[in-house]
Amino acid sequence: MSEKILIVDDEETLCDVLRFNLEAEGYEVVAAYSAEEALAMNLAEFDLVLLDIMLGEISGMQLARILRANPATAGVPVIFCTARDTEDDKVEGLDIGADDYITKPYSLREVLARIKAVLRRAGRTSEMAESDRLGYEGLSVIPSRKLCIVDGEEVKLPRKEFEILCRLLGNIGRVFTREELLRDIWPDETVVLDRVVDVNVARIRQKIGHYGSHIKARSGYGYGFIG
């Protein structure tokens, strides 16, 4: 069964070109010319969303937040394809939980390669045994179920935050450099910046309560979970 991709972009000609080339690669492709049109669809049925930022009343950033906030679509990979190319735009997009960020103008070859990489990443079985529960005292993560539990209460974490926490809890006492975390958590992206690691770690600390104090920063290196 071929992967199903949704393109959300208000440039109809661009959508048509992307759809033609993606269908030639064997993908099933649907186009929406606004976020409102996309939200009228069953977004959970898509394997990946290609999303422009500059849309209508609802921007691509807002749509990405809606996707990440809904448990049914929180795991759907999102790639921003946009003319917004500042560092702040990229950080914001990746901080929302986007899996990649491509700036216009781009080559179709690049887009196809990024799509394949993200789909491969999304479909990859966790390196950790599914039966494993990683944790420290009342903080635990269950990789196979994508669950984070803090003192008996489930805490929702976007995919990248969850993967970082899994990496830290699975290696208590070890300090990972930012470069290691970028390579492990964002292995296929080329635009990820060190700041993205810092932002994601800060969000994790806030969400896991007093256990956040165990995520220690080592100046000039990176982060580790210290028991």
Average confidence score pLDDT of the chain: 85
Helix (H) or strand (E) holding 23: helix 12-24
The verdict on pTM exceeding 0.75 is no
Residues paired with 161 in a beta bridge: none
Residues 172 and 118 in one domain: no
**Of 93, 122, 151, which one is at a domain's C-terminal end?**
122
Please determine, for residue 165, whether its predicted confidence score (pLDDT) is greater than 60. Answer: yes
Helix (H) or strand (E) holding 136: strand 134-136
Q: Which domain holds residue 75?
A: 4-122
Helix (H) or strand (E) holding 166: helix 159-169
Please determine, for residue 97, whether its predicted confidence score (pLDDT) is greater than 90. Answer: no
Residues 46 and 113 in one domain: yes
CATH of the domain at 172: 1.10.10.10
Q: What is the pLDDT of residue 123?
A: 66
Q: Are 165 and 176 in contact (CB under 8 A)?
A: no
Residue 128 lies in a domain: no
> Which of 71-75, 112-116, 157-161, 192-196 bottoms out in mean pLDDT, i.e. has the lowest?
192-196
